[in-house]
Amino acid sequence: MKSLQISTFGKPAAVVELVERDAPRPEAGQVLVAMEAAPINPSDLLLMRGRYGHRPRLPAELGTEGIGRIIDVGAAVAPTRVGERVLIVPTLRHGTWQDQVAVEADDALPVDPDADALQMAMLGINPMTADLLLRSFVDLPPGAWVAQTGGSSAVGSYVVALARQAGLRSLSLVRRPEAVPALLAAGADAVVVTGPQFADDVADALGDDRISLLIDGVAGDAVTDFVPWLAQGSTLVSYGGMSGGPVAMSPADLIFRDIRVRGFWQMHWLERTPREEVAAAYARLGALVGDGVLKAPVTATYTLDQCQAALAHAAETGRAGKVLFAW
């Protein structure tokens, strides 16, 4: 079977290796999954560069999340699970960019067999990240303002949809004016563009209100520009740093305005949360994906044989949607 791996860290399209290996056999407590679709996420690219929070031992299989169908089970797993369509929980223990993968049975969660495969394949990381960013740090009353940098990202689109479901108002920052209509159509209350009109546009959107929660996946100037618009006692949650800059604000804002700064990594949640609670959370979000409430644009799909082109495409800035491997 085909599998993608790295033997050294570096530029993803340069270090990726397409290898042939024997299909795995599920051990006791495991299931064997034939992959249907698996996304390429920014975290995958960081891992391949050796700049992620998890640095695997080399050579390392690649891919963090995806969906497929169970084709075999090991001892102590009900044979009736064969044929199930499942989400592979993104524990970083399994490489999903391969034809088949053996995973612990508890890491293979049933999903809607009739839902769109590409949308369901993205369930593992981005929708859950958006949901946890909104729910885990601040108890927000209906009508509160949530702002986010990186509004045109996949996480950004899920934040907009989930905020609307929760009765919250969302303000998204994007770099390109052409990204504005899609976010407004998805339910964003306001969208502003990086540039000299930022402050005026935010003032028009908020009026006398202020932001209770700032969700940041960019860092750098995007955070600094938002700080004056944060409410007293508000919270900033950092989950990414696409700009390469720091998360910076003045000591006066931290001390006198009581602004709290938190970090978020989904792996910490997966490690400390009982698996029953994890499964319930994915079931809830999976139903929203299946109903079309949660969705993200897809710009292209590739086969494993096209791995270099796929990774180069995923690394491009200004993409209109996600890039996935599909079988």
Helix 126-135 / helix 275-290 crossing angle, nearest 10 deg = 110
Q: Given a cut of 90, is residue 319 above it in pLDDT?
A: no
CB 309 within 8 A of CB 302: yes
> Residue 214: which domain range?
137-263
Q: Is 52 noted as a catalytic residue in this protein?
A: yes
- β-pair partners for 17: 5
Helix, strand, or coil here: 218? coil
In a domain, 273, yes or no: yes
* pLDDT tens digits for range 88-119: 999 999 999 999 999 999 999 999 999 999 99
| Chosen domain end from 215, 242, 263 | 263
Catalytic residue among 52, 158, 282, 302: 52
Residues contacting 263, CB < 8 A, separation 6+: 237, 238, 239
Give the number of domains in the chain: 2
- Do 163 and 115 reside in the same domain of the chain? no
Sign of CA dihedral 51, 146, 289, 277: positive
In a domain, 130, yes or no: no
- Do 227 and 320 reside in the same domain of the chain? no
pLDDT band at residue 59 using 50, 70 and 90 as cut-offs: very high
User: Alpha-carbon distance 241 to 187, whole Å?
Assistant: 25
**Secondary structure element (H or E) that encloses residue 108, with its range:** strand 108-110
Per the prediction, the chain carries an average pLDDT of 96
222-250: b (≥16 Cβ within 10 Å) or e: bbebbbebbbeebbbbbbbbbbeeebebe
* pLDDT tens digits for range 197-238: 999 999 999 999 999 999 999 999 999 999 999 999 999 999
pTM: 0.95
Q: In the structure encoding, which two tokens stand for residue 307, read together?
A: 């791995």
Q: Given a cut of 90, is residue 251 above it in pLDDT?
A: yes
User: Alpha-carbon distance 126 to 239, whole Å?
Assistant: 11
* pLDDT tens digits for range 132-163: 999 999 999 999 999 999 999 999 999 999 99
Q: Given a cut of 90, is residue 126 above it in pLDDT?
A: yes
Q: In the structure encoding, which two tokens stand for residue 255, read together?
A: 């001390």
Q: What is the CATH number of the domain that holds 199?
A: 3.40.50.720
User: What's the confidence (pLDDT) of residue 307?
Assistant: 98
User: What's the confidence (pLDDT) of residue 317?
Assistant: 84
Q: Is 175 left (phi over 0), alpha (psi -120 to 50) or beta?
A: alpha
- β-pair partners for 1: none
User: What's the confidence (pLDDT) of residue 227?
Assistant: 96
- Do 101 and 16 reside in the same domain of the chain? yes
pLDDT band at residue 264 using 50, 70 and 90 as cut-offs: very high
Q: Given a cut of 90, is residue 318 above it in pLDDT?
A: no
123, amino acid identity = L
* Residue matched to tokens 């955070």: 223
| Chosen domain end from 263, 278, 305 | 263
What is the rounded average pLDDT of the residues 14-35? 97
Q: Given a cut of 90, is residue 299 above it in pLDDT?
A: yes
Q: Given a cut of 90, is residue 320 above it in pLDDT?
A: no
CA 223 to chain centre: 20
Q: Given a cut of 90, is residue 193 above it in pLDDT?
A: yes
Q: In the structure encoding, which two tokens stand for residue 62, read together?
A: 């690649």
In a domain, 255, yes or no: yes
pLDDT band at residue 284 using 50, 70 and 90 as cut-offs: very high
* Residue matched to tokens 């299946």: 290
User: What's the confidence (pLDDT) of residue 242?
Assistant: 85
- β-pair partners for 325: 38, 302
- Do 257 and 158 reside in the same domain of the chain? yes
User: Alpha-carbon distance 19 to 29, whole Å?
Assistant: 27
* pLDDT tens digits for range 82-91: 999 999 999 9
Helices (H), the chain: 12-15, 42-49, 117-121, 126-135, 154-165, 180-186, 198-206, 221-226, 251-256, 266-272, 275-290, 307-314
Q: In the structure encoding, which two tokens stand for residue 260, read together?
A: 């709290």
Q: What is the CATH number of the domain that holds 97?
A: 3.90.180.10
What is the rounded average pLDDT of the residues 32-38? 98
User: Alpha-carbon distance 117 to 121, whole Å?
Assistant: 6
- Do 144 and 169 reside in the same domain of the chain? yes
